[in-house]
Amino acid sequence: MAARSRKDRQACWGARDAYWTRLDENTEDTSQCKKLRRSFESICPQQWTKYFDKRRDYLKFKEKFEAGQFQPSEKTAKL
């Protein structure tokens, strides 16, 4: 994979941030964010979108965990 230019990286990060902001505003309702998601996927390399999706999931989990709002699943609680 060729190295991304600074302009390409900034465009990708901007698309990611716009998408994440819309998700936050719509309480994670992805149906309201389809256009931004397509833009995010078209601007960023596929590997980056996968990474950013996992990163967002982790950050949301961490936020809930630190706020004491995390509830383990029944399966996990039994272990």
Report yes or no on 31 lying in a domain: yes
- CA 65 from chain centre, in angstroms, equals 17
What pLDDT, in 10s, does the model give residues 2-36? 668 999 999 999 999 999 999 988 877 788 889 99
Instruction: Give the residue numbers spanning the domain of 36.
Output: 10-49
Report yes or no on 77 lying in a domain: no
Give the pLDDT of residue 29: 75
Give the pLDDT of residue 68: 84
Report yes or no on 75 lying in a domain: no
Report yes or no on 43 lying in a domain: yes
Give the pLDDT of residue 6: 93
What pLDDT, in 10s, does the model give residues 29-58? 788 889 999 999 999 999 999 999 999 999
Structural domains in the chain (count): 1
Q: Residue 35 is which amino acid?
A: K
- CA 43 from chain centre, in angstroms, equals 15
- Pick the more confident residue, 31 or 77: 31
Report yes or no on 65 lying in a domain: no
